[in-house]
Amino acid sequence: MRYIVILLAFISLSAKAQQVTMHCGYDFTSYLVLDVHEDGKKENIKNLKITVVDSLGREVINVGNVYSWSRANEPMRFKQNYPIGDDNKALPEGTKLTGNERWFFPYAKDNYILSIANTFPADRFSFKIEDVDGKENGGQFKTIILPLYAYNMYVLCSNESQQAAIKFGRKMNKPIDVVLEEQ
């Protein structure tokens, strides 16, 4: 009888441990999402250089993947989210979208995105937006530096208690709305 009780306790604890350790596809990863547009317009401005900077305005380097699981030892630069086809590959530039496509990062549409680690200390950094391309925008927009905050992060793997705790204040998982001015 004692062995049966021990066996049932072991099975119960094992099942409980498996529930706690369930993982999702975005474990340990968050995103920063920027919606960069002109005042009164909804379309995102293309071909901007957007980087994470420190308090002195210097680009932050992802040394040893400490801030992001991708692009080790490179500056932390945002890229534009892009549509992917059924083969999960980026659609060629200029492809007419039919509505059947998905976005690479499905929680953002035509926005700028940056993959970061969940431990990213957002409150220590800012992001800098520069119009340096010269082709599409012609350098017509002013350079700006805006602070980052922890609530700017798209935390995608959270449990119900974390969701319930967020009742008041700014809701998480919303793009950072940035309005650029012409020079």
3-state per-residue secondary structure call for the chain: CHHHHHHHHHHHHHHHHHHHCCCCCCCCEEEEEEEEEECCCCCCCCCCEEEEECCCCCECECHHHCCCCCCCCCECECEECCEECCCCCECCCCCCCCCCCEECCCCCCCCEEEEEECCCCHHHCEEEEECCCCCCCCCCECCEEEECCHHHEEECCCCHHHHHHCCCCCCCCCCEEEEECEC
Split at pLDDT 50, 70, 90, the class of 1 is confident
pLDDT single digits (tens) 54-64: 999 999 999 99
The pTM for the full model equals 0.74
pLDDT single digits (tens) 10-23: 676 665 544 444 44
Structural domains present in the chain: 24-80+111-180 (2.60.40)
